[in-house]
Structure 1
Amino acid sequence: MQAIQTPHYPILFNNDCYSFLQETITPDKYSKVFVVADSNTSQLCLPNFLAQLATEVEIEILEIDAGEINKTIETCTQLWYALTEMGGDRKSIMINVGGGMITDLGGFVSSTFKRGIDFINVPTSLLAMVDASVGGKTGVDLGPIKNQVGVISNPIAVLMDINYLGTLPQNEMRAGLAEMLKHGLICDKTYWEKFLDLNELTTDDLQQLIYESIIIKNNVVTQDPTEKGLRKILNFGHTLGHAIESYHLDAEEKTTLLHGEAIAIGMVLESYISFKKDLLTLNEYTQIKEVITSIFGKTEFNQTDIENVMKLLSHDKKSEFGEVLFVVLNGIGKASFNEPVNNELITEAFHDYLA
């Protein structure tokens, strides 16, 4: 597959990834390589990755516990100390091998250690491949609040070995579809329609869909790299989705949701809001709801759950001057941003989702 060139770095695929590493990580450029992985990718992906990391530069492995609950400043502090104790300097490079948690956190650690060292992201989950691979967003959660601390900082490359998808459980693969569906809904109706019958998809189809999804996101980010305007449309489903994810992460009686699972719920809710604002037709909204719930099922919410989710909205990064702003759909394949929504309509959206 041909490389995708973002404004700041290339996204390389399959065998080209390892050719790039061999050409780039040489003793004249880098003093030490730090490879960051979590306890899952360390076991499932790292052996294959290290076997193909042919370099004379010294390699150190840094393993952290898996799970969104560990995407914290405390984990960053542990890594900063480890980098210091292992002799990391300005000529060190970090390679983050894992899902979105690893690329977000590892990118943030790299961007702040010694005021910034080079890093490479190797996304191993479908979600990370189509979402975290583009745009340079790094960061960590603050308690249950998603991505509250971070910077936009670009890697020198993203390496996409599709074979790592074979290590994923089914729910992780399904979660990755959420961001792909989102890209179709906000930018490309034809792309969205390719997901209307998932039973027909082959492995080759999936590889092509991943490629197209990355191109869609890259086109948006290229026009607005620091999210001052157009890039905000990539947050469709995330205003409510992030609040739902945070609530399920923090509430002991709730089952933790994967990021993509929460965003899928958010997309249904925010599609309903778009419909009630006369921006989507009933047929379009019904199609979106049916496609997404057929893939993800439904998550139950009682009135207390809904109220707690709405309290978390005030922490949303897209809030401005105390007002929570949403991305809405103007028909399938088009979106607009900075749309205010009242609490009554949000509650109504939850009730319709559950109907």
Structure 2
Amino acid sequence: MDSISTKNATVFFNSEVYTALNNYLKTDKPSKIFILVDTNTHDYCLPAFLERIESGDIVIEVMEIPNGEDHKTIDICTGVWEALSEYNADRKSLLINLGGGVVTDLGGFVASTYMRGIAYINIPTTLLAMVDASVGGKTGVDLGALKNQIGIINEGVMVGVDTSYLDTLPQNEMVSGFAEMLKHGLIYDKTYWSTLTHLEKLDISDLDQLIYDSIIIKNEVVTSDPTEKGLRKILNFGHTLGHAIESYFLENADKTPLLHGEAIAIGMLLESYLSTKICGLSQEEFEIISSGILKTFSKVEINKNDQKVIIDLLQYDKKNSYGVVKFVLLEAIGKPKTDCVVHNDLILEAFDYYAH
């Protein structure tokens, strides 16, 4: 597969990942290489990765963090910054983030802020990270249960998408990543959406191309609007309510935490319903969206008390301005509309629809 040029970096695929990475190490000659992993990627991905890189005389240090969204915190960042300092990382050091979205988001933020910025490379190992965190340079951590409240937009020097790492994933993690791919179809390409919702006509060999197409869509959006002043906002479809739902289930001890994609699937369903009320999304297309999402994602119980707290959490959404919550909705599949204002009574109506 051909590489994809982003605004400031390049995304390489499969075998080309290691050719490009090794060329970079020979040419740029970092003073030290630091590899950030979590508990899972340390065991399942790091050995294969180390076999493929040619570091020569450059010292490699591995730093491990706990896995899971609840560890995407400033406290974990502090531990990584301290480790970098302890191992004498300087401004010519390189940080390689080998993991899912938590590792790439947190690692990118650590690299962007350590000594006012060192080079970093993302090697995403989950489907979600490949199609979402791989492009765009968004880095950051959560503030308590509030998603990605602290961060910076700063691209790494390279991204390496090696789909063989997907063999290490449990099924629910693959499904979680699939939600972001569905989103790319809904906001940008009706044909791509249709392909994703008819996977029975495909086989596993088609997955690489679908991932590639998803990254192409995200890159086209991000390249035209790197700092999210306009078009890039469409990537937030499903995320206004989805992030609030994810935060609520994460911080509530009585709830089983949802994976990111599971929460975003609920958000996309709810926001598609809102689209029929506000943006003229046809009932026919809404039913296509609903059945397409529910083919893969089971419904989750969200009671009346849950709904009130989730709506209260919307005030912390990063897209808000002047205290007004702004949604991305759909006029049609592949035709999003940004900066939509939605009243709470309609949100409650959407929850009622979802519950039945």
State the distance in 2 between where 1:22 and 1:206 align.
26
Secondary structure at 1:297's aligned position in 2? coil
Question: What's the CA shift for 1:27?
Answer: 8.2
Q: What are the residue-to-residue correspondences of 1:188-227 with 2, within 5 Å?
A: 188-227=189-228
Partner of 1:282: 283
Aligned amino acid, residue 151 of structure 1: I
- C-alpha separation between the residues in 2 aligned to 1:244 and 1:171? 18
52-61 vs 200-209, greater mean Cα deviation: 200-209
CA RMSD of aligned residues (A): 0.9
* Counterpart position of 2:350: 349
CA deviations on 1:53-77 (whole Å, 9 max, x unpaired) are 1112110000000000000000000
Give 1:315's aligned amino acid.
Answer: Y
Partner of 1:9: 9
Q: What are the Cα deviations for residues 305-354 of structure 1, in whole angstroms up to 9, with x where unaligned? A: 00010111000001100000000001001101000000000010011011
**Please, which runs of 5 or more residues in structure 1 have no aligned partner?**
none
Amino acid in the other structure paired with 1:40 = N
The answer to whether the aligner puts 1:33 opposite 2:33 as a matched pair is yes
Matched with 2:19 is 19
Q: CA deviation at 1:29?
A: 2.3
Counterpart contact for 2:279–2:330, Cα < 8 Å: no
1:47 maps to which residue? 47
The alignment of Structure 1 onto Structure 2 pairs a total of residues equal to 355
Distance 2:82 2:53 in 1: 25
In structure 1, what is the equivalent of residue 124 of structure 2? 123
Shift of residue 20, structure 1, vs aligned partner: 1.2
- Residue 103 of structure 1 corresponds to which residue in structure 2? 104
User: What do the CA deviations read for 1:183-209 (whole angstroms, capped 9, x no partner)?
Assistant: 010010011110222222212211111
**Cα distance in 1, alignment partners of residues 83 and 261 from structure 2:** 31
| Residues in 1 aligned to 2:144 and 2:197: alpha-carbon distance in whole angstroms | 37
Counterpart-to-counterpart distance in 2, 1:28 and 1:254: 48
* 4+ residue runs over 3 A deviation: none
* SS of corresponding position for 1:26: helix
Partner SS for 2:308: helix
Equivalent position amino acid for 1:171 in 2: N
- Shift of the alpha carbon at 1:21? 1.6
Deviates more, 1:266-275 or 1:194-203: 194-203
In 1, distance between residues paired with 2:353 and 2:300?
Answer: 13
For 1:293 and 1:187, how far apart are their aligned partners in 2?
20
The answer for unaligned runs of 5 or more in structure 2 is: none
In the TM superposition, residue 26 of structure 1 has moved relative to its aligned partner by 3.2
Q: Deviations over 1:99-124 (max 9, x none)?
A: 00100000000000000000000000
Q: Name whichever of 195-204 and 34-43 sits farther off.
A: 195-204
1:21-67 Cα shifts (integer Å, max 9, x gaps): 21111386210000000000110101000111111211000000000
Structure 2 partner of 1:333: 334
**Residues in 2 aligned to 1:15 and 1:194: alpha-carbon distance in whole angstroms:** 26
SS of residue paired to 2:196: coil
**For 1:138, what is the secondary structure of its paired residue?**
strand
Query: Using the alignment, how far apart are the partners of 2:336 and 2:249 within structure 1?
Result: 27
Report the AA paired with residue 267 of structure 2: G
What CA distance in whole angstroms lies between the structure 1 residues aligned with 2:43 and 2:202? 29
The answer as to whether partners of 2:279 and 2:329 remain within 8 angstroms in 1 is no
Residue number in structure 2 paired with 1:314: 315
For 1:117 and 1:201, the matched residues in 2 are separated by 42
- SS of corresponding position for 2:12: strand
Amino acid at match of 2:17: C
The aligned residue for residue 64 of structure 2 is 63
User: What TM-score comes out, normalization by structure 1 length?
Assistant: 0.99
Once residues 51 and 72 of structure 1 are traced to their aligned partners in structure 2, the CA distance between those partners, rounded to angstroms, is 30
Quick one: percent identity of the two aligned structures?
56
Q: CA distance change for structure 1 residues 308 and 20 in 2, over 3 Å: closer, same or farther?
A: same
- SS of the aligned residue for 1:141 comes to strand
Q: Which amino acid aligns with 2:334?
A: G
Task: Quote the residue 2:258 is aligned against.
Answer: 257
Change (3 A) 1:77 1:278: closer
Superposed displacement of residue 278, structure 1: 4.5
Counterpart position of 1:232: 233
TM-score, scaled relative to structure 2: 0.98
Instruction: Give SS of 2:138's match.
Output: coil
